[in-house]
Amino acid sequence: MIIKVNKPQDIHALFDKAKKDAAENGITWQGDITQGHGSGFGFEGQYVIDENHITITVTKRPLLVSKSRIKNEVENYVNTKIGTP
């Protein structure tokens, strides 16, 4: 499953917040401001950040979590934690 969201103006603030949240919640995350991967709570995936978008590829997810729920949660996280341009 692939999720593509608009990159916020302050991608560094979003990146720092996401790293902090991951560490606080026991999520394994390796990467930088351009690409990386992570896992936790039955999820695995990777991300790529380009000039305009964040593209997240979910490679493993719990069966009881719908794709639409994952998409909504990702969009909500990006849009409410930092905001989009």
Give residue-wise pLDDT tens across range 8-59. 888 999 999 999 999 999 999 999 999 999 999 999 999 999 999 999 999 9
C-alpha span between 52 and 4 (Å, rounded) = 10
CA distances from 50 to 8, 42, 57 (A): 11, 27, 14
More reliable by pLDDT, 82 or 50: 50
Averaged pLDDT for residues 72-82 = 82
* Token pair listed for 25: 């919640």
Domains observed in the chain: 2-80 (3.30.310)
pLDDT at residue 78, rounded to an integer? 87
More reliable by pLDDT, 81 or 73: 73
What pTM was estimated for this model as a whole? 0.84
